[in-house]
Amino acid sequence: MISGGGTGGHIYPAIAIANAWVEKHPDSEVLFVGALGKMEMQKVPEAGYKIIGLPVAGLQRSLTWKNLSFPFKLIKSLAKAGEIVKDFKPQVVIGVGGYASGPVLYAAQGKKIPTLIQEQNSYAGITNKILSKRAKTICVAYPNMQSFFPADRLVLTGNPVRKDILHLDGKREKAMAHFDLDPTRKTLLVLGGSLGARTLNQATLKDMKVFEKDGYQVLWQSGKYYFKDMSKAVEDSGLEHIHLREFIREMDLAYSAADVIVSRAGALSVSELSLVGKPVIFIPSPNVAEDHQTKNAMAYVLQEAALILKDAEAVGQMKEEVDSIMNEPDLVKRLSQNIRALAKPNAAEGIVNEIEKLIA
């Protein structure tokens, strides 16, 4: 049983673990448990797995009437999680973070079923810290996580990612044709997530004319929330080399096309970009718990594996940071080598090995 979700950063590693497990153990039955109304309820069935939803929701950090329903939803979710665990009788339960993982792992631990936590970030959330006290194994993506978890149960596996980005060699020509890019221009890839990142969009919008003037082209994922406004702005500008997309599904091709990548610093993004091995400028989101995106990015910056630009400084300074990489071949080489050295391409298989130890 695999529980959690809420964002792609939780869901895609969960699916990668399930895929790696089923590939090795094809006769297994895998059940996901997510939160009703969250994206896992769509993404998990699309990946071919059954999922059951809990009515659980998060506690809002600001004072809001929504918090009044929190204890009732939690109690109901705990009861339902107990029923699901009792009916399914899993041999092991995996928590990947997100609203549903708390009630499900709590129920499993109460029934003495082995549990494994997969923590994607360099700064652990409160739910995982609580659950780790009775978890058998905690798989992490960053070293030095003993300040959050029991050191004797930590295993450094990395974050599981989709398989298609492991093989980018020879795809550049196909990528140029797919996105209608000019092979004579250097390509900047801007990624703000599936919903979008306001600052990254504003920064790209401000600098897009000078990017084109200086001979670059931009492959730009604006996200669902901002696509309409950004699309109108690009259309009105008359620029030919700003290639806007609401969402990019063919990420292997997008990465193949890129010379420099600008991205948020969510755990999954950071892990994927390590495997890609291209120069990266991280612009961490300030709107996340414990500022964990900055901590994710700094773990790479301190290894000279990426550059970082504060969210508050991105609009107006992004072009300067991009230029600092595009015009320095030695920096491109150093950043690429160092970020690739931090990659863990076999994370899912490593987690599968840990699951097998719990069942044996």
Q: Residues annotated as binding site for UDP-N-acetyl-alpha-D-glucosamine?
A: 7-9, 121, 162, 194, 248, 267-272, 293
* Rg value, the chain, Cα: 21
Starting at the edge strand found earlier in the chain, the sheet holding 242-245 runs: 242-245, 216-221, 186-191, 260-263, 280-282, 307-308
Whole-number Å distance between alpha carbons of 179 and 278: 19
Whole-number Å distance between alpha carbons of 255 and 235: 25
Instruction: Establish how many alpha carbons lie within 13 A of residue 82's alpha carbon, considering only the half-sphere containing its beta carbon.
Output: 8
b/e per residue 61-81 (b: at least 16 CB within 10 A)? eeeeeeeeeeeebbeebbebb
Q: Which of 213, 199, 224, 217 is nearest to 39 (CA)?
A: 224
Whole-number Å distance between alpha carbons of 297 and 309: 10
φ and ψ of 359, to 5 deg: -85, -30
CB 336 within 8 A of CB 322: no
Q: Is the dihedral of CA 129, 131, 136, 141 positive or negative?
A: negative
The type of residue at 110 is G
Helix axes 227-237, 198-213, angle to 10 degrees: 20
Question: Which residues face 3 on adjacent strands?
Answer: 33, 95
CB 82 within 8 A of CB 94: no
Whole-number Å distance between alpha carbons of 339 and 353: 25
Binding residues: 7-9, 121, 162, 194, 248, 267-272, 293
Largest pairwise CA distance in the chain:
64
φ and ψ of 208, to 5 deg: -65, -35
Whole-number Å distance between alpha carbons of 281 and 264: 9
